[in-house]
Amino acid sequence: MALAKKKTRLIHVDGADYRWVVSPDDGYMVLVVELAREPRSRLLVYTGYDDLLVPDPENAGYAPFPDTEITPRFVRAWISQALAHGWDVAAAGREFRLMCR
């Protein structure tokens, strides 16, 4: 079943157009990506709301940064990673899952 066009965004990566949306869930977000035309396989990227770490000079380390944003740059990077690691966009009914950490 393809993503509905309503509330999704388009992005162009490596010569192909993809449709994407972020689905919030309890404690994490799921980035859902598929080909814009003739979608067959979905990419699911699971990311927490605070997966981004920023320098914390008070504790000489890093601290979680709340409210992580899913930007087109983030989406493009994960599509490229998935393709490089074997996501077959033509494989009907298959989901390719990645965890952002």
- d(CA 101, CA 89) in angstroms, rounded, equals 23
- Residue the block writes with tokens 């087109």: 72
What pLDDT shows up at residue 15?
Answer: 93
Is the Cβ–Cβ distance between 39 and 33 less than 8 Å? no
What pLDDT shows up at residue 83?
Answer: 95
Residue 50 CA to its chain's centroid (Å): 15
Digits of tens for pLDDT over the chain (101 positions)? 567 677 889 999 999 999 999 987 767 888 999 999 999 999 999 887 665 666 777 777 776 655 567 889 989 999 999 999 999 998 988 899 998 76
What pLDDT shows up at residue 52?
Answer: 60
What pLDDT shows up at residue 37?
Answer: 92
